[in-house]
Amino acid sequence: MAARKHNIDRSRESYDAATSALKRALGSRVRTDEESLFRASFDGSKLCYFPDAVIAVRAERDIGTVLALANKHGVPVTVRGGGTSLTGSGSPIRGGWVLDVSALDSIVIYEREGMAEVGVGAKISAIQKAAEDAGWYYPPDPSSKDHSTIGGNIACNAGGMHGAKYGVTRDFVLALTGFLPTGERVKWGGRFKKFACGYNLRDLWIGSEGTLGVVTSAVLKLVPKPEAKWTLVAAFAEEAVALGAVQALIGRRLLPSILEFLDRHSVQCAERATGRSLFPEQRGKPLLLVEIDGTAGEVAAKQQDVLAWAAEHAVASAEARTSEEAEKLWEVRRKCSGAMFELGDAKLNEDVVVPLFSQVAFAGFLDELQRSSRLPIATFGHAGDGNFHVNIMYHRDDAAESKRAEKVVQRLMRKVVALGGTITGEHGIGLAKTPFLRLDRSEAEVRAMLAIKHALDPRGIMNPGKIFEVFEVWKHRPIKIRLPWDHR
């Protein structure tokens, strides 16, 4: 990734004096060279805003120093983990300082207790590996697990494919340590499972997107590693049938560990990208991926149930008994997102949730939306959670298409809220979803959130411009850059 000259917004405040003070305090940990600033200027959304300095945090106490100075001088501070956020929550839109905590990456597994104590910079895949080496298992697995950090996962309350059975990041966080925006060190919870003393600020921090403080370490709950796994992929005549089958499967009370959905656009893109089809006879049909885990006996029993279900609803199916076979089935899910750019050069990727039993109605709505907007809308996601990644594809330079794409997002968001759903299930609000926050949350709720923000961060230094201030993402051009997780 090469650094290049980029327009820095000269109209905004300069924090030169403060940055000099920061350099005096932390020396070479403070970087202001163009390359460092550029690398910290965007996240997975590729919305780029230059900061004034990047602090490569080595020890927790650095953070206290940074926050004290930032408060004194009123400098915005944006925390950065893996930089994979898809909403712009990690882009330092007001400049100021980026606090890079990715070096705080310690991992300790408490084998006898089934817990892990980790530094926030630890990558999810590293935590999973350490847990599994000890016979335990950390279930939340966002697709970005090789690149995203536990700090970012906590700040966004990230989900993943195992959500249907195991839940999301929040469900595995027992305790958090970190700093309030004012620079004071705090700890919520400990190496135990229950606490009822005082307000629950741990859960307030989770999902607050770096606007209420800096997390430095976490105690995570682990679960026993499932003894056996079994995977099935099934193709369906159309989307509504597939999502109807999801309801039928949930009705059987089977609680699959994974239940992923891909619509025909997603399947077709993956097929073209890989040059292969799982079901040559049934190319381009919507798919469901089902995984069952548990003890060997349990998996064997449930497997029969799932096969009977597939025979009833699907047009074709294939099962995997070994992890290599399963890996082949998963390829389509992993490849589909990157492959979508053949449908348009711009993508509005949403992350909506609808109640489980509104999924069929939602499929009908998406159909209608494609027809009326004449835009390809590729949808895939965590059907077991009702969480869908809706990708509206268009061509940026086509003014008419752009206008239609914007309309589609507006209608989509209104629809999910009307169905009793929510505008974001795992990515958060950041910048990209800000126009819709007030659609989802009542005035009293937003007022309460802002009051809390003010109580914790009186000078408003933590990640300003996010969540509450409207940012119309379709009016902003992402930079052209290839990130490690962009496969294409």
Partner 1 sequence: MKGSLFQENRMADQETCSIGGDLACVPALNARLGPGCVLTGAEDVIPYGFDATAALKQRPGAVVFPKTTSEVVDIVEIARRHRTPIITRGSGTGLSGGSVPVENSIVMCLLGMNRILELDTRNLTLLVEAGVVTQDIFNQADAAGLLYPPDPSSMKVSTIGGNVAENSGGLRGLKYGVTRDYVMGLEVVLADGSVCWLGNKCVKDVAGYNLRDLFIGSEGTLGIITKVLLKLLPKPAARRTLLATFGRMDAAAETVSAIIEAKIIPCTLEFLDRKTIHCVEDYARVGLPLDAEALLLIESDGHPAAVEDDVTRIAALARRHGAIEVNCARDAVEAAQLATARRSAFSALARLKPTTILEDATVPRSELANMIRSIQEVAQRHGLDVATFGHFGDGNLHPTFLTNERDADEMRRVELAMGEIFERACEFGGTITGEHGVGLAKKPFLRRQLGNASYALLKAIKRTLDPDGLLNPGKVVDA
Ligand X SMILES: Cc1cc2nc3c(=O)[nH]c(=O)nc-3n(C[C@H](O)[C@H](O)[C@H](O)COP(=O)(O)OP(=O)(O)OC[C@H]3O[C@@H](n4cnc5c(N)ncnc54)[C@H](O)[C@@H]3O)c2cc1C
Closer residue to ligand X (CB): 86 or 222:
86
Where does residue 416 rank: exposed (0-12), middle (13-18), buried (19+ CB within 10 A)?
buried
Token representation of residue 255 = 């609680």
Q: Rounded CA gap, 50 and 42, in Å?
A: 8
Sequential DSSP letters for 369-413: HHHHHT--EEEEEEGGGTEEEEEEEE-TT-HHHHHHHHHHHHHHH
Site string for partner 1, 139-158 (x = CB under 8 A): -----------------xx-
Identify which range of 12-20, 266-274, 394-402, 444-452 contacts partner 1 by CB under 8 A: 444-452
Distance in Å, CB of 271 to partner 1, minimum? 29
Q: Which helix (H) or strand (E) holds 30?
A: strand 30-31
1-60 residues in contact with ligand X (CB under 6 A) are: 43-44
The residue from 453, 461, 463, 465 that contacts partner 1 (CB under 8 A) is: 453
**Binding test (CB under 8 A) with partner 1, winner from 96, 159, 210, 286:** 159
- Out of 32, 143, 182, 247, the only residue in the binding site for ligand X (CB under 6 A) is 143
Q: Is 445 in the site for partner 1 (CB under 8 A)?
A: yes
Q: Kindly state the number of chain residues that form the binding site for ligand X, as judged by CB under 6 A.
A: 36
Please report whether residue 61 would count as binding partner 1 according to CB under 8 A: no
Applying CB under 6 A, does 456 fall inside the site for ligand X? Answer: no
Q: Is 54 helix (H, G, I), strand (E, B) or coil?
A: strand
User: Are the C-beta atoms of residues 96 and 78 closer than 8 Å to each other?
Assistant: yes
Rounded least distance, CB 166 to ligand X, Å: 13
Asked if 152 interacts with ligand X (CB under 6 A), we say yes
| Among 69-77, 123-131, 164-172, 268-276, the segment contacting partner 1 (CB under 8 A) | 164-172
Residues 206-235 that bind ligand X (CB under 6 A): 209-210, 214-215
Q: How far apart are CA 229 and CA 258, in angstroms?
A: 10
> How far is the C-alpha of 463 from the C-alpha of 93, rounded, in Å?
8
Strand partners, 229: 293
Enumerate residues 65-124 that contact ligand X by CB under 6 A: 78-86, 89-90, 101, 120
HSE-CB at 324 with a 13 A cutoff on CA atoms is 0
CB 209, min distance to ligand X, A: 4
Assigned token pair, 439: 């659609």
Q: Quote the CA–CA distance of 460 and 73 in Å, as a whole number.
A: 11
- By CB under 6 A, tell whether 160 contacts ligand X: yes
168 lies in the binding site for partner 1 (CB under 8 A): yes
List Cβ neighbours of 253 (8 Å cut-off, separation of 6 or more): none
Q: Which residues bind ligand X (CB under 6 A)?
A: 43-44, 78-86, 89-90, 101, 120, 142-144, 148-149, 151-153, 155-156, 158-160, 209-210, 214-215, 426-427, 463, 485
